[in-house]
């Protein structure tokens, strides 16, 4: 059968009239096509290789399989046959989901054309074929002969694949009788050959008959060719005196190969006798150990050659235990060996396993090793848990296992402490216990000795009970070194420990809670403690250790009290006093409130000096007025700066639009993107304009912020969550912002502004174009992301997340973190940039022109535009993105915003994953505010939007949208839907993606998996990379 449920070929036979001699002009002819198979079988008819359709004098009847599994039969009815109907008739069959158990999604299998029928109706004035050409199979490199003969033909011509007539040449010879000889046959010669008989001065059409030339082939035999299927070592084990059979299925081949078997002596096996071949099956009626064991070879052969595959047949005999394992007694920690001697076949036909206390032993780890070939069990270091009953099991394939008599391992336990005594710290005056337990082959005797008191008994408050040392009211004299001694018949062991006696800290003076202080005056917070050893006292404020006690305002007195010599309003808070020694810690907390000194006169009552009260009022009024003026000035400057920045950006965008910002490539409208790697691209011009900026602004224009306050350092704002190693790594990225020049605003993100800038001598920017370095002045173009909202926790966390992500990655398709400016606000993150800019603008630029311009009005010269991406280039970009995101997922990192706007494109169509995140203005349309979060709604799956569940699987969904953007040349997803419509459809799982027209079937299937509703149904990035690598696309750029 061919495929699943169809015969190899479909054959044509004459159904009516009964004999070809009865086929004359005007007779109705019926040809039947018969196919063995199952399923919904579809049969098609062909005449001389051209499909025959219903109409006129042609009709069809019959169809699928008949009742009871009868072959499918379809009949071609030809009414009133004439010479014009002559030719070679063939049929072919196909079935969807053929084969038992095939579901509706099963593939289509076909049965190619088989035996044809040459219809020959004699007609007046038309040649009549006498010898029609027959289908021929030829060996590669051999020769093939096609015979053809006509009556009343003036001459005969041969055609091959609509070329001809064929002439005598090096590889073709046409004999005088019309036969065609093809020499040195190759794959290029396969196909239909047409023999045409032509009669001169005849109005009838020439007669034509076709024949198929096929190159013989033969597939290899493999382990799956045998039934039942063999193991990888091609070993078949059969018990002695049993029937054995092994079928060798013939491999695929044309012509169908024949199969024969060869015995171990190299002789062919006959088709009768106790050892015989039945069709393709080897049968041995009653196996014999010595005579029938050996290598049997299946030989498949046809015109193409011969293939062989050998099978080792082992006739097994039943095993027998010749010597049972012997019980043994072993010292603990010593090795032990049990041996089980047997007679039987060699390993792996016969193998030995061991059972301990009724459970099979598994050879895992290094504690013991059971050799399955010789029946030896070796325990490297015996434990008490190894004592028990052991049985060896000898198993030969085809026979029941044989069990030995049980053997016991007795373990002689060593004298040892269980567990080892350890040092002890005891509280003065408390009741305390020190345990010492030991075990051995016999119960040991345990006693204690204190160093320096040999032969003396313990004080009355110290007793020993069953090896436990008990202190009833610990005294200072109890400290020292104690030795536990255990003895039995095996010997003596001892262990020495140190006992320390301490007094847990206790507060002798507690601070007054709450306490008050007056601004500008001193305040004393009492705290005293005692203990043994003497405790040390540490102070903390608001649960943060006070490490700035070198400040002359704070003094810790000898008794532990805290003196604040000059109280400030900022000193208000909760102060903790912690007393600690080797015995433990105690802590007390007090709240301190510092009251403002306004209206308070330390030298006398308020009424004594009213002039000072007036001066205080004036001072307050002047201060408030100056503060208000300063606030108005700051607000005015902020409004002016924002207006100026917005206007400058609008002018820049207008200039970009006028000059064709999307024109990225070199000269000519039809230049391939990969060829435009020179500096004449439009984005290359953008980088050049940085060095020619008319405002000549440098890093100083953006570094005039106030110095950082405590806690505003980005790398340290979350220091409790990061290691010192992480902090040190950020120090190596430190970069002076004074070396940033010609900063140009790209847009605004959630954390702050995003710029392009020239960085002087920045490590990592070495390539002139791709990493942005100008060899002339050592300047490289970088992307600068500013953190303007240093007090916003969400912005801080996101800034830190991006820092960690781009610092950890090391992949050619992901931008690298090049530097970090932290010496003052705003903080800057410096990332790699590319010479062609972001991918979205590149895709928009590659769109074909749709607007028509008036030929009468002259147009200004336009920058060159890139040609649309080819399918191979699209697949290459998708593959680069997948490899980059696979690297991210392997590091357990999540991007969260994968889109064309956040990817960069460089010379040679090299893609880099980035994260500009211009959600406030430049790409504001592509973001949506949901639950107080700005989200790339159309790029995210359900779980990310409604459950805030971001993972590598949500990145897979976004990756699918990125590939969709590349195919559609940056089309806006669901552009006909509003954001609320998209949100509602996503929530109800009704958002369905439309596959781009030029998407291949393999990529269509992959994108469908990426957009699956359940994250578990989406592929991993490793699976995506593998799937793209297997796509049959010419990726030659």
- Which residues are known to be catalytic? 897
Which residues neighbour 890 within 8 Å (Cβ) at sequence distance 6 or greater? none
Handedness of CA 109, 112, 114, 120 (dihedral sign): positive
Tell me how far apart the alpha carbons of residues 625 and 631 are, in angstroms, rounded to a whole number.
10
| DSSP state letter for 229 | P
- Rounded-to-integer distance, Cα 5 and Cα 100, Å: 8
Q: Where are the beta strands (DSSP E) in 317-456?
A: 320-323, 328-331, 336-339, 341-343, 350-356, 359-360, 368-371, 376-379, 388-396, 402-403, 407-412, 416-417, 424-427, 431-434, 438-439, 445-450
List C-alpha distances in Å: 540 to 512, 528, 570, 721, 861: 16, 15, 15, 20, 72
CA–CA distances in Å: residue 34 to residues 8, 48, 192, 663, 665: 12, 19, 22, 63, 61
CA angle 1028, 1031, 1032 (to 5 degrees): 155
Spatial contact of 568 and 594, defined as CB atoms under 8 Å apart: yes
What are the beta bridge partners of residue 556? Answer: 562
Cα separation, 914 vs 382, whole angstroms: 60
**CA pair distance 1017, 1030, nearest whole angstrom:** 20
Residue of 866, 952, 876 whose CA lies nearest to 911: 876
Is 902 annotated to bind a ligand? Reply is: yes
C-alpha distance from residue 647 to each of 195, 662, 745 (Å): 82, 22, 11
Cis status of the peptide bond prior to 403, with omega within 30 of 0:
no
Helix (H) or strand (E) holding 301: strand 294-302
Given a contact cutoff of 8 angstroms between Cβ atoms, the answer to whether 831 and 783 are in contact is yes
Residue 32: helix, strand or coil by DSSP?
strand
Q: What element of type H or E holds 506?
A: strand 491-509
CB 339 within 8 A of CB 372: no
Continuous segment of H or E residues that includes residue 630: helix 610-659
- CA angle 449-450-455, nearest 5°? 60
For residue 652, the SS3 value is helix
Within 10 angstroms of residue 435's Cβ, the number of other Cβ atoms is 14
The answer to whether residues 485 and 449 touch, using CB atoms and an 8 Å cutoff, is: yes
Rounded Cα–Cα distance for residues 961 and 978 (Å):
18
Residue carrying the six token digits 């060699």: 346
983: enclosing H helix or E strand: helix 979-987
Compute the distance between CA of residue 78 and CA of residue 1022 in angstroms, rounded to an integer: 59
Asked if residue 451 lies in contact with residue 481, where contact means CB atoms within 8 angstroms, the answer is yes
C-alpha to C-alpha distance for 1 and 37, rounded to whole angstroms: 8
Residues 783 and 759: their CA atoms lie apart, in Å, by: 10
How far is 768 from 771, CA to CA, in rounded Å?
6
Strands 244-248 and 253-254 come out as unpaired
For residues 507 and 528, the answer to whether their CB atoms sit within 8 Å is yes
Annotation-wise, does 689 bind a ligand?
no
HEC string of 513-534?
Answer: CCEEEECCCCEEECCEEEEECC
Residues at the binding site are 901-902
Binding site for Mg(2+): what residues are annotated? 902
């Amino acid at each position: 059968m061919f495929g699943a449920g169809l015969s190899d070929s479909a054959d044509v036979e004459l159904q009516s009239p009964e004999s070809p001699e009865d086929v004359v002009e005007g007779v109705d002819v019926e040809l039947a096509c018969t196919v063995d198979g199952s399923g919904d079988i579809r049969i098609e008819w062909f005449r001389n290789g051209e499909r025959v359709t219903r109409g006129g004098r042609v009709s069809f009847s019959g169809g699928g399989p008949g009742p009871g599994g009868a072959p499918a039969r379809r009949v071609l009815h030809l009414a009133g046959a004439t010479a014009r109907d002559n030719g070679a008739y063939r049929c072919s069959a196909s079935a969807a989901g053929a084969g038992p158990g095939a579901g509706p999604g099963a593939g289509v299998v076909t049965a190619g054309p088989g035996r044809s029928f040459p219809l020959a109706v004699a007609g007046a004035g038309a040649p009549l074929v006498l010898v029609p050409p027959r289908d021929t199979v030829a060996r590669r490199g051999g020769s093939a002969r096609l015979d053809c003969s006509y009556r009343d033909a003036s001459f005969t011509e041969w055609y091959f694949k609509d070329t001809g007539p064929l002439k005598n040449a090096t590889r073709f010879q046409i004999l005088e009788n019309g036969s065609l000889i093809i020499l040195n046959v190759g794959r290029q010669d396969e196909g239909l050959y047409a023999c045409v008989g032509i009669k001169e001065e005849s109005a009838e059409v020439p007669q034509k008959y076709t024949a198929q030339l096929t190159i013989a082939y033969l597939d290899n035999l493999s382990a799956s060719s045998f039934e039942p299927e063999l193991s990888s070592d091609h070993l078949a084990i059969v018990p002695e005196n049993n029937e054995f059979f092994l079928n060798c299925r013939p491999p695929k081949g044309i012509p169908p190969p024949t199969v024969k078997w060869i015995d171990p002596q190299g002789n062919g096996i006959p088709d009768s006798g106790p050892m015989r071949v039945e069709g393709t099956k080897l049968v041995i009626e009653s196996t014999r150990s010595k005579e029938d064991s050996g290598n049997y070879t299946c030989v498949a052969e046809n015109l193409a050659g011969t293939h062989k595959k050998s099978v080792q047949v082992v006739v097994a005999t039943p095993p027998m235990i010749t010597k049972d394992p012997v019980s043994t007694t072993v010292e603990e920690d010593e090795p032990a060996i049990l041996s089980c001697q047997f007679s039987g076949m060699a390993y792996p036909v016969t193998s030995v396993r061991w059972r301990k206390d009724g459970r099979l032993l598994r050879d895992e780890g290094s504690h013991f090793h059971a050799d399955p070939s010789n029946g030896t069990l070796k325990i490297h270091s015996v434990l008490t848990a190894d004592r028990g009953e052991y049985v060896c099991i000898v198993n030969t394939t085809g026979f029941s296992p044989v069990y030995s008599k049980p053997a016991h391992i007795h373990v002689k336990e060593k004298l040892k402490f269980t567990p080892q005594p350890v040092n002890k710290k005891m509280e003065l005056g408390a009741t305390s216990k020190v345990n010492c337990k030991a075990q051995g082959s016999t119960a040991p005797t345990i006693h204690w000795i204190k160093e320096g008191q040999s032969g003396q008994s313990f004080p009355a408050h110290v007793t020993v009970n069953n090896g436990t040392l008990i202190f009833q009211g610990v005294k200072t004299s109890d400290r020292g070194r104690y030795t536990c001694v255990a003895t039995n018949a095996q010997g003596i062991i001892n262990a020495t420990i140190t006992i320390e006696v301490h007094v847990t800290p206790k507060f002798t003076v507690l601070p007054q809670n709450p306490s008050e202080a007056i601004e500008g005056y001193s305040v004393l917070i009492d705290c005293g403690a005692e203990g043994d050893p003497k405790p040390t006292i540490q102070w903390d404020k608001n649960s943060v250790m006070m490490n700035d006690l070198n400040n002359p305002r704070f003094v810790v007195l000898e008794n532990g009290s805290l003196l604040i010599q000059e109280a400030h309003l900022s000193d208000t808070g909760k102060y903790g006093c912690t007393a600690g020694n080797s015995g433990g810690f105690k802590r007390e907390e007090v709240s301190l409130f510092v009251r403002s000194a306004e209206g308070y006169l330390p030298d006398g009552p308020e009424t004594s000096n009213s002039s000072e009260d007036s001066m205080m009022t004036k001072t307050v009024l002047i201060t408030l007025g100056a503060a208000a003026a300063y606030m108005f000035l700051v607000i005015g400057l902020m409004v002016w700066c924002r207006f100026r920045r917005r206007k400058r950006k609008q002018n820049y965008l207008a200039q970009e639009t006028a000059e064709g910002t999307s024109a990225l490539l070199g000269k000519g409208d039809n230049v391939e993107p990969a060829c435009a790697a020179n500096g004449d691209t439009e984005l290359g011009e953008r980088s050049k304009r940085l060095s020619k900026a008319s405002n000549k602004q440098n890093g100083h224009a953006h570094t005039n912020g106030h110095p950082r306050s405590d806690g505003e350092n980005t790398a340290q704002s979350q220091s409790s969550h990061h290691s010192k190693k992480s902090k040190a790594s950020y120090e190596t990225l430190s970069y002076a912002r004074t070396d940033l020049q010609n900063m140009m605003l790209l847009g605004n993100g959630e954390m702050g502004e995003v710029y392009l800038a020239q960085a002087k001598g920045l490590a990592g920017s070495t390539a002139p174009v791709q990493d942005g370095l100008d060899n002339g002045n050592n300047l490289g173009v970088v992307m600068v992301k500013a953190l303007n909202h240093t007090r916003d926790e969400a912005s801080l966390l996101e800034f830190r997340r991006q820092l960690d992500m781009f610092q950890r990655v090391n992949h050619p398709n992901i931008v690298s973190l090049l530097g970090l400016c932290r010496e003052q606000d705003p903080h800057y993150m410096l990332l790699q940039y590319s010479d062609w800019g972001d991918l979205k603008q590149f895709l928009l630029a590659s769109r074909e022109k749709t607007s028509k311009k008036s030929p009468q009005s002259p147009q200004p010269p336009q920058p060159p535009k890139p040609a649309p991406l080819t399918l191979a280039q699209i697949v290459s970009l998708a593959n680069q993105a997948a490899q980059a995101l696979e690297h991210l997922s392997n590091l357990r990192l999540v991007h969260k915003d994968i889109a064309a706007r956040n990817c960069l494109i460089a010379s040679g169509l090299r893609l880099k994953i980035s994260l500009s995140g211009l959600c406030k203005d430049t790409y504001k349309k592509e973001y949506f505010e949901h639950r107080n979060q700005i989200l790339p709604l159309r790029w995210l799956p359900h779980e990310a939007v409604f459950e805030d569940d971001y993972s590598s699987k949500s990145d897979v969904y976004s990756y699918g949208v990125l590939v969709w953007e590349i195919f559609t040349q940056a089309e806006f997803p669901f552009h006909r839907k509003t954001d609320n419509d998209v949100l509602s459809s996503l929530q109800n799982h009704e958002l369905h993606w439309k596959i781009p027209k030029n998407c291949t079937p393999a990529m269509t299937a992959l994108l469908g998996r990426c957009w699956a509703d359940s994250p578990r149904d989406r592929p991993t990035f490793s699976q995506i990379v593998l799937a793209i690598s297997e796509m049959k696309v010419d990726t030659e750029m």
